[in-house]
Amino acid sequence: MNKEFETEELASVSRRDFFKRTATVSAAAAVSILAPATLLADDENIMHHTKWGTSLGYEVNKFPYGLPSKYEHNVVRRTSPLMSSAGDMHAAISMTPLHELNGIIVPNGLHFTRTHNGVAEIDPNKFRLMIHGLVEKTIVLTLDQLKRYPSESRILFMECPSNGAAEWKGPQFGSLQMVRGMMACSEWTGVRLSVILDELGLKPEAKWMLAEGSDGSEMSRTLPIEKVLDDCMLVYAQNGEALRNEQGYPVRLMAPGWEANLCVKWLKRLEFGDKPWYAKEETSKYTALVASGRAIQHFYANETNSIITSPCPEKPWTDLKTGDLVEIQGLAWSGHGTIRGVDISFDGGKNFVEANLKGLVLPKAWTRFSYMYKYEGKPLLLQSRSYDDSDNVQPTVNQEKKVVGVEGVYHRNAIHTWAVNAKGEVSNVQIRS
């Protein structure tokens, strides 16, 4: 038996004992932090030396690539057979643990992942990027050559247009992570495509760009030139380090604010043409069937959206007592521009108050919102509703359903509702008819 592990076992037993012995006292203490200190039991975590304070820690470079604390082992991506074909996890999605995140940057190991033919592992020495078609000069770049171009960094969200797709017909998942975890936000670094194209020379008849991946699915999509020249990038870094395999190492396309599917991973080729290509992932998939029986194609921007991350089913208010002042917070984002504000409702959308934005407020990036709330131990129907500088306001379930129906799969951005019961437990519900 591992000595270290034994010690930890003993420590956890004593913590259990602590809670047993102090249960009644804690209840008294919970009334107020001003309760007379004489009523309180002494906390053994304070009264005794700790293991880590009485022994050597591990060596400075034991983990040349650092790891989270072993106590954080539950902070991981999660998936479900529903997010795959027949439970096959090569063409599937794993979800970001939004409930455990802080700020607007997602650690690279927690970034949601969608693959159509498994995660490709590309040898960067064999990576080649070809740009051709309706350009005056074609080009083949190695990774090192691409990195020679002037770089820019942008904090941008990345969202699968299927985020929330399981819930068109009603709530299905009992967690924030599975409800909305098909997204992340990172600082991405790479080269603006306009810089490269400026030198290659786009021909006037070039209207569309095909972006093609080199993985087994040869994932490809068509984008209009206007977007390509406005803000598209060839990115090779996320949060300061190389892209993870799961995010398209060594190079993926970044189309800020647009479907993550358009941000083609494991990029291999860009071709410029005068007509759209009708690749598979822009015809049989990634088109949104609406109630009329026709489907929206070339669906680009992820619409303005928001969700409350605290409280949520994984992080309920069960430890609160009446009168506690607590922060409600969440994430808002819009692929159309910058979040202007977020409103919060406590009664399922009948009345709203304005929340406050906090931290960086950036275009096409996660934006945190915050509202201080005095907890009353009463049932609530908590909602958030975002609006952006492109005049979008997040729709209700009914407003969205009325226009697009419930079979579209993609681009679901209806206002989300958490039901908070009298015990402070949180569950996933929808306000709809």
Partner 1 sequence: MFKLDRKSIVIGTSAFAASAFLLTAVGCSASNSTSANAASAGTTGTADVYAIKNKTAIDGGVTYVRAHGVDSAYRYNEQITKGVSFGRPATANEIAAWDIDTLPDGTGLPEGEGSVEEGDELYEAQCASCHGEFGGGGNGYPQLTGGNKSKDENGVVITLKNQRVYGSTDAPKRTIGTYWPVATTLFTYIRDAMPYANPKSLSNNEVYAITAYLLAQDGIVIDGEEMTEDYVLNAEKLAKVVLPNRNGFYPDIDGLNGTDPIENVRAFYADRATNIGAGTRCMTGCKDPGGIDGKTEASVVEIGYEMSDISPAYSTARDLPPEVEDKSISQAEKMYNDSCKLCHASDNMGAPAVGDIGTWDQVMVKGLDKVVHNAVAGMGGMPAKGGNMDLSDADVKAIVEFMVDSSKNKH
- CB of 80 vs partner 1, minimal distance in Å: 5
Q: Which of residues 14-43 bind partner 1 (CB under 8 A)?
A: none
- Smaller CB distance to partner 1: residue 42 or 72? 72
- CB of 34 vs partner 1, minimal distance in Å: 29
- Smaller CB distance to partner 1: residue 81 or 323? 81
- CB of 32 vs partner 1, minimal distance in Å: 27
Residue 79 lies near partner 1 (rule: CB under 8 A) = yes
Q: How many residues are given for the chain?
A: 433
Among 403, 422, 423, 425, binds partner 1 (CB under 8 A): 403
Report CA dihedral (254, 257, 259, 261) to the nearest 10 degrees. Answer: 10
- Smaller CB distance to partner 1: residue 79 or 108? 79
d(CA 246, CA 304): 26
- How many Cα atoms are found within 13 Å in the side-chain-facing hemisphere of 300? 16
Q: Which stretch binds partner 1 (CB under 8 A): 32-40, 232-240, 242-250, 409-417?
A: 409-417
Q: Which stretch binds partner 1 (CB under 8 A): 35-43, 64-72, 104-112, 321-329?
A: 64-72
- CB of 385 vs partner 1, minimal distance in Å: 7
Residue 360 lies near partner 1 (rule: CB under 8 A) = yes
* Count of residues in contact with partner 1, rule CB under 8 A: 153
Q: Which of residues 250-279 bind partner 1 (CB under 8 A)?
A: 257-258, 268-269, 271, 273, 275-279
- Smaller CB distance to partner 1: residue 25 or 173? 173
Q: Which of residues 229-248 bind partner 1 (CB under 8 A)?
A: 230-231
Contacts for 308-311: CB closer than 8 Å, 24+ residues apart: 308/344, 308/382, 308/383, 308/384, 308/416, 308/418, 309/98, 309/99, 309/101, 309/176, 310/99, 311/382, 311/418, 311/420, 311/424, 311/426
Among 41, 107, 165, 207, binds partner 1 (CB under 8 A): 207
Q: Please, are residues 95 and 181 in contact by the beta-carbon 8 Å criterion?
A: yes
Residue 117 lies near partner 1 (rule: CB under 8 A) = yes
Please report where in the chains the tokens 């940057």 appear, as a residue: 105
Among 352, 359, 370, 421, binds partner 1 (CB under 8 A): 352
d(CA 425, CA 410): 30
- CB of 402 vs partner 1, minimal distance in Å: 6
- DSSP letter string, 109-161: GGS-EEESS------GGG--EEEEESBSS-EEE-HHHHHHS--EEEEEEEE-T
d(CA 236, CA 50): 43
Please choose, from the candidates 389, 288, 393, the residue with its C-alpha nearest in 3D space to the C-alpha of residue 336: 389
- Smaller CB distance to partner 1: residue 31 or 274? 274
Among 119, 130, 165, 242, binds partner 1 (CB under 8 A): 130
Three-state SS at 301? strand
Q: Which of residues 283-342 bind partner 1 (CB under 8 A)?
A: 283-284, 287, 289, 291-298, 300-301, 303, 314-315, 334-341
Please report where in the chains the tokens 């290659």 appear, as a residue: 200
Q: Which stretch binds partner 1 (CB under 8 A): 19-27, 37-45, 370-378, 422-430?
A: 422-430
Q: Which of residues 174-203 bind partner 1 (CB under 8 A)?
A: 174-175, 177-178, 195, 198-199
Q: Please, are residues 258 and 301 in contact by the beta-carbon 8 Å criterion?
A: yes
Q: Please, are residues 180 and 159 in contact by the beta-carbon 8 Å criterion?
A: no
- How many Cα atoms are found within 13 Å in the side-chain-facing hemisphere of 216? 9
Residue 220 lies near partner 1 (rule: CB under 8 A) = yes
- CB of 39 vs partner 1, minimal distance in Å: 28
Q: Which stretch binds partner 1 (CB under 8 A): 22-30, 170-178, 320-328, 370-378?
A: 170-178
